[in-house]
Amino acid sequence: MLTGAEIALKIDHTLLKPNSTKDQIIQLCLEAKGNNFATVCVNPFWVPIAAKELKGSNVGITTVIGFPLGSTTTFTKVAEARDAIASGATEIDMVINVGALKSGDLDAVAKDIEAVVTACKDSAIVKVILETGYLTDEEKIAACRASKIAGADYVKTCTGFGPGEATAEDIRLMRLTVGPEMGVKASAGIRDLDTARKMVAAGADRLGTSASIAIIMGGTGKGY
């Protein structure tokens, strides 16, 4: 059974609220360094602050693009990704074009992802947020396949702003679809150590949560 310290190494310590302050972002970074979290996950505006606070540490910097709806243009997503990398981001969590996916336009979905992957090549890891709460199992499989073909590094469950939360069932389905070559990130609704362990057991190798401290201490937290 994984300990809190072992789980910490898989956590993207997250603060994506629109009313987040500079002091809160700095505190997030201090917590990430102090607890050996994999990355902090912040909105693009805060990436330079996180880069400054985390300089010289082993903590990466995740930011989100096309967030939270996924319906911005590919051009915009690429520009966001390049800007974020220039500011210090090491990992990019992009929201899939949910509307295109629901319309059955898998070519548009794949090209959208591929363009961001190309923009991030050799500079940042790309995680594709499927927003599973909107999708059927067939659509989840199609999104995972498109992400893999496009060369993304991870598939991810949810933004935390949509209708769904991470489930062990979805993680198992995503892992089965992408195989061992890609990462799978569980995000939204992970608020305690038991849930975190279940996600890892189901196949997740990264966890997105704002309840990180409570989780690694064995308690229950609020939020994303």
Distance CA 177, CA 192 (A): 27
Hey, which residues does 156 pair with through a beta bridge?
129, 185
Cα 164 versus chain centre, distance: 14
CB 73 within 8 A of CB 52: no
Catalytic positions, written as ranges: 93, 156, 185
Distance CA 90, CA 174 (A): 23
- At residue 135, what are phi and psi to the nearest 5 degrees? -110, 150
Hey, which residues does 126 pair with through a beta bridge?
92
CA-based nearest residue to 157, from 207, 116, 105, 220: 207
- At residue 72, what are phi and psi to the nearest 5 degrees? -70, 165
What is the SS3 assignment for 40? strand
- Which amino acid belongs to residue 106? L
